[in-house]
Structures are given as C-alpha cells and as structure tokens.
Amino acid sequence: MNTIAPEFTKTEMGNIQIAPEVIEIIAGLATIEVDGVTGMSGGFASGVAELLGRKNLSKGVKVEVGQREAAVDVSIVIEYGRRIPEVASAIQANVKHAIQSMTGLNVVEVNVHIHDVMFKGQERIEEEEGPITTRVK
C-alpha cells in the first residue's frame, strides 16, 4: 500500500509509507483547531474507546487515500451562534493545508458534516439540575 505522493515514496534509505490512520489524526487535529468547533462527532466505537480512557484523535474523521490524493469527511459539533458556512470553510482550508503540507498528498475534497450544536453553558445547566428522578418504578 502506497499512501504518499510518488516523489517522496522512495529514498536512498528505503520506502516511505503513511498509514491512513495518521492522515485521520492530522485531519482531526486540524479540525479542532478551528474556532467555533466544540468537538468531533464519532460513532459508537469511538465512544466506547473514550469510555475506556483512550483519547481517539481521529474521532469523527473518515479518509480515503490513494497514491497521490486524499478525500476527507469530518463530523463536528459546532458552537451555537457561529456562522456554519464560515466555520465549515475554515475547517476545509485548515484540513487541506495540514494534510498537503505534512504528507505531500493532494486533498481533492473535505466534506464537513455538522452533527450537533453546543450551547454556551450547556454542561453547567445539566449539572445544576441535580439528579434526575425517574417517573416509573
């Protein structure tokens, strides 16, 4: 499997290969750097990994990697009050720049999926409500 631009793959010392998981981590870190992103939205498996104490840096990121190109999908939680098109555009630019500069791969698309909106102080409101009483016994 060759997942890096051809001009970088073979050196006098040997071959260079980048695992798709590395590209997922680069994309995830580049996404959470963008102002207005409050978190990543992952599936069931990443939620289980976090419960077990493992930080999943590729949570909410899917990549398709060819020999010279990559396509990325990121799923995010956005802060309430932010302009979604502006945040999504900033994510696309940041992810594309990070992957291209670090790996040499050409990023052909970055799809941004907004899965939730986080309100300011949302955690505090939930904590202040106290224990939830059940209606049925």
C-alpha torsion angle, residues 123, 85, 111, 2 (rounded to 10)? -100
pLDDT value for 18: 86
Phi, psi of 72 (to 5 degrees): -130, 140
The architecture that CATH gives domain 6-128 is: 2-Layer Sandwich (3.30)
pLDDT in tens, 62-92: 999 988 899 999 999 999 999 999 999 999 9
CB contact set of 6 (below 8 Å; sequence gap of 6+): 67, 68
Q: Indicate if the pLDDT at residue 3 is higher than 70.
A: no
Q: Are 17 and 25 a contacting pair, CB within 8 Å?
A: no
pTM of the model: 0.74
Q: How far apart are the first and last CA of the chain?
A: 57
